[in-house]
């Protein structure tokens, strides 16, 4: 029985990933090194971060639709464990996207502070 449950969970997680496949998660960009970059490179890095944030927002908007559909399935009278697991997997993908965006913004702010300390005034 445990094997069947494990197999079902694996299949469910794969299904949730497949459901979200048409939602394209953006690649996390490389950031300029604040200790050695020029002002132009830092400004280009800022544009890259903003573009990533816009793409991440579009990704989450796409997931919102999938999450709404999965919520309907998971809260229906005939909901299965697979429906609930699919919803949880989509919610995890959404949360991971938010965390990734926050981490990128934090790292870029660190590089800006480093740039300012190396290039005062």
pLDDT digits (tens, 9 = 90+) for 59-87: 999 999 999 999 999 999 999 999 999 99
Share of the chain above pLDDT 90, in %: 80
For residues 103-111, give the mean pLDDT: 98
3-class SS string, 45-63: HHHHHHHHHHHHHHHHHHH
Give the pLDDT score at 7.
Answer: 43
**Secondary structure E strands in the chain:** none
The whole-number pLDDT of residue 121 equals 75
Render pLDDT for 5-55 as a digit per residue (tens, 0 to 9): 444 445 444 544 444 568 999 999 999 999 999 999 999 999 999 999 999
Nearest to 66 by CA among 97, 45, 43: 97
Q: Which residues lie closer than 8 Å to 23 by C-beta, 6 or more apart? A: 59, 62, 63, 66
> Which of 15, 27, 18 shows the shortest CA–CA distance to 80?
15
């Amino acid at each position: 029985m445990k094997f069947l449950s494990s197999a079902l969970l694996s299949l469910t997680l794969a299904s949730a990933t497949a459901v979200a496949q048409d939602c394209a998660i953006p690649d996390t960009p490389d950031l300029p090194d604040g200790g050695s970059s020029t002002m132009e490179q830092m400004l280009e890095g800022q544009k890259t971060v903003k573009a990533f944030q816009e793409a991440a927002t579009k990704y989450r908007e796409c997931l919102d639709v999938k999450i709404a559909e999965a919520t309907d399935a998971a809260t229906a009278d005939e909901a299965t464990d697979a429906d609930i697991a699919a919803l949880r997997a989509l919610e995890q993908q959404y949360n991971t996207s938010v965390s990734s965006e926050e981490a990128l913004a934090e790292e870029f702010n660190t590089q800006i502070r480093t740039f300012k300390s190396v290039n005062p005034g």
